[in-house]
Amino acid sequence: MISPGRDPGIGSDGARGEHGVPISVSSVMVLLAGIVCIGGPVFGFQGGTGESCDPYQIANAEDLLRIGSDIELMSKSFVLVKDIDLDPNSAGGRILDTAVINRTVEKDIADLPDSAFRTAGGRKVGVFQGAFFGNGHVIRNMVIDACDIACVGLFPYIGEEAVVSDLRIENSRVKGRMHVGLLAGINAGTVSYCYVTGSVSADSRGGGMVGTNLGALTCCGAETSVTGERMLGGLVGHAIGKCSITHCRVKSRVAGQKNVGGLVGEMLGGNLTGCFASGSVTSVADAGGLVGTGPLGGSVLKCESAADVKGVVVGGLIGIAQRTSVSNSQALGVLARIASAGRTKNAALGGIVGYWKGGGGSIISSSWSTSVAPADAAIGLSAPDAAVNILSVCGHASDVKNSGAQRVN
C-alpha cells in the first residue's frame, strides 16, 4: 500500500556563516556578483549549487551516499562527472543494507512536507524529488542485501517531480522484500535513457530496473535476472495507474510463482508502446512474453516479444488479460505449458494471450509464430463474460533469427 505523507509544519533557520556568525548584507552582495544560479551550501560535493542550471557534481561513492544525508538535498539537482565503482571488495567498500540514496525520515517526520516521504511496504520512505543526470556515466558493482525491507535500489522512491536520465547501472545485485529494482524500488517520476544490468531478488514487485512503476519510463533498457515469488518483470515488477513504458527493451531471465512477465510482471492500468522483450520467462502460474497479468484497462501497442515462456497459463505477449487492448504487436518466442500440482484450473496456452479473465477488449493486427509456439488461437481460454474484438490476428510461420530478436539460450 502506497500512501502520501501528512501535513507538516516547516521551520527554518536564519542565514549564518561559519561558527554561527551572521552573514552581512554586504557579504551576500559580494557573493551574488557574477553568479547566475544561486543555490544552497555545497554540502561537500565536487562543485555546483544544486540548482537545475548548476547541479551538484557527483564524482565518488561518498558523494552519492551524501545525497541522502539531508532532506534538502532530496529535491536538488545532481550530475555524475565520473564513473563510480561501489564494489564491496574494494577499499572502503561494503554491502549495503538499504537503498544507496536513502534518507531516514522516521525521527523528523513531523517537520517534513508531504512531498518528502511516502508510506510504502509498511515503512516511511524518503522521496527523491530532484533531478539526477547520469551524463553517460556508470555506477557499477552495487550490492544491496535488504531481504526484510521494502523500497530497495539506487533510489528507494523516485517522486512525482523527479527526473532521472542518461544513467547506467552495471553488474549490480539487489535483494529486498518488495518494491525492488536496480534503479529504484518505486518510480513515480520521469526516467529516460537509463540502462541496467545485474540481478534482482524480491518476494514481490521486483523488476530489473524498477520494482513498482507509477510514472514514465522512456527509452530505457535492462539485461537482468529477476527471481522471487510474484509480480516480477525484466524491467518492472508492478505497474499501476496511468503509468507509461515507451520504447524500452529488455533481455532478461525472469522466474517466479505468479504474475511473471518478460517486461512487466503485473500491470493494473497503463500503456506499453514500442517495447521489446527477449530472454526467458518461467512461472508455475501465469506467464507472458511481455506482461504476466494485465494491463487491466490498459494497452499494448507496437510491441514484440521473442522471450521463451513457460507456465501453467501462457501467452506469447500476455499471460492473463482483462479489459486490455493489444494492437500491431507480435509474439515470436517458444511457448510451453507446464504441469503444476494444484494449478490446473484455467490452464491455457495462447499465441497472444493465455487466459482472458473477463470484460471487453481487443486484439487487432497482431500475430504469433506457429513455428515455435504450439498455439491454435490468439487466446488460449476465455472467461464466460469475456467480449474480445479480434481483427486481423493470426499465427504464422516465422524465423526468429531474422526478426531482429536477441535470443537467450
* Count of Cβ atoms closer than 10 Å to residue 23 Cβ: 13
Mean pLDDT value of segment 246-264: 98
191 close to 165: Cβ distance less than 8 angstroms = yes
* Rounded distance between C-alpha atoms, residue 92 and residue 338, angstroms: 47
**Residue range 45-71, pLDDT digits in tens:** 999 999 999 999 999 999 999 999 888
Residue 406 in this model has a pLDDT that exceeds 60: no
Given the C-alpha cell 481487443, which residue does it identify? 362
Q: Which domain holds residue 204?
A: 115-402
**Residue range 324-350, pLDDT digits in tens:** 999 999 999 999 998 765 555 678 999
pTM, rounded to two decimals: 0.86
* Rounded distance between C-alpha atoms, residue 351 and residue 298, angstroms: 19
Residue 173 in this model has a pLDDT that exceeds 50: yes
Number of domains in the chain: 1
* Rounded distance between C-alpha atoms, residue 40 and residue 42, angstroms: 7
Q: What are phi and psi of 221, to 5 degrees?
A: -145, 160
Q: Is residue 334 part of a domain?
A: yes
215 close to 203: Cβ distance less than 8 angstroms = no
Q: Is residue 239 part of a domain?
A: yes
Q: Is residue 57 part of a domain?
A: no
* Rounded distance between C-alpha atoms, residue 118 and residue 10, angstroms: 17
Residue 16 in this model has a pLDDT that exceeds 80: no
- Which of 304, 306, 262 minimizes the C-alpha distance to 287? 262
Q: Is residue 309 part of a domain?
A: yes
Q: What's the chain look like in SS3? A: CEEECCCCCCCCCCCECHHHCECCHHHHHHHHCCCCCCCCCCCCCCCCCCECCECEEECCHHHHHHHHHCHHHHHCEEEECCCEECCCCCCCCCCECCCCCCCCCCCCHHHCCHHHEEEECCEEEECECCEEECCCCEEECCEEEEEEEEEECCEEEECCCCEEECCEEEEEEEEEEEEEECCEEEECCEEECCEEEEEEEEEEEEECCEEEECCEEECCEEEEEEEEEEEEECCEEEEECCCEEECCEEEEEEEECEEEECCEEEEECCEEECCEEEEEEEECCEEECCEEECCCCCEEECCEECCEEEECEEECCEEEEECCEEECCEECCCEEECCCCCCCCCCEEECCEEEEEECEEEEECCEEECCCCCCCCCEEEECCCCEEEEECCEEECCCHHHCCCCCCC
CA dihedral over 32, 38, 42, 46, signed as positive or negative: negative
Q: Is residue 84 part of a domain?
A: no
Q: Is residue 332 part of a domain?
A: yes
Going from the C-alpha of 34 to that of each of 31, 38, 54, 78, the distances in angstroms are 8, 10, 14, 22
| pLDDT band at 358; cut points 50, 70, 90 | confident
Which CATH number is 352's domain given? 2.160.20
Q: Which of 8-12, 197-201, 232-236 has the lowest mean pLDDT?
A: 8-12
**Residue range 370-388, pLDDT digits in tens:** 877 677 899 999 999 999 9
167 grid coordinates:
544513467
CA dihedral over 301, 304, 310, 314, signed as positive or negative: positive
Task: Give me the pLDDT at residue 39, please.
Answer: 46
Residue 40 in this model has a pLDDT that exceeds 60: no
* Rounded distance between C-alpha atoms, residue 197 and residue 195, angstroms: 7
Of residues 66 and 91, the one with the higher pLDDT is 66
DSSP bridge pairs for 170: 140
Going from the C-alpha of 49 to that of each of 44, 53, 61, 134, the distances in angstroms are 11, 9, 19, 17
Q: Is residue 211 part of a domain?
A: yes
Query: For the chain, what is the mean pLDDT?
Result: 86
- Which of 133, 114, 4, 110 minimizes the C-alpha distance to 58? 133
- Number of residues assigned to the chain: 409
Residue 113 in this model has a pLDDT that exceeds 50: yes
Q: Is residue 90 part of a domain?
A: no
% of the chain with per-residue pLDDT over 70: 82
